[in-house]
Amino acid sequence: MADKTLFERVIAREVPAEIVHEDDRCIAFRDIHPQAPTHVLVVPRKPIPGVGSAGHEDEAVLGHLLLVAAEVARREGLVDGYRLVVNNGPHAGQSVDHIHVHLLGGKPMGWPPFAF
């Protein structure tokens, strides 16, 4: 059996995290290296490596992640807006092979988000 990802270990409570939401399909917790005043990761309980490996059977859980991110944003008071980011693969900056949505807010953000 493969080693658990960091996020699977958070879900199993083997690694501490500041959890802001939890239900039967996902967990949301504060990023330990925040890139904005509010930086929350919304992670499915099902260990899907990334968007590129998700299947049609994952459609409901992927939609659920976005709805949970919106609910957490409301609870966090992000009334002026927020950004949702999903990285896929190492060139996109994905460092944990378990799909997750970054909820970023609490400050104005520019566009494009990164310099190339």
Q: Which of 56, 64, 98, 100 is catalytic?
A: 100
Beta bridge partners of 18: none
Phi-psi region of 93 (alpha: psi -120 to 50; beta: other; left: phi over 0): left
Question: Does residue 98 have an active-site annotation?
Answer: no
Residue with tokens 């658990």: 4
Check residue 115 and report its DSSP letter. -
Strand, coil or helix: what is 42?
strand
Q: Is the dihedral of CA 16, 22, 27, 33 positive or negative?
A: negative
In Å, how far from its chain's centre is CA 114? 19
Catalytic positions: 100
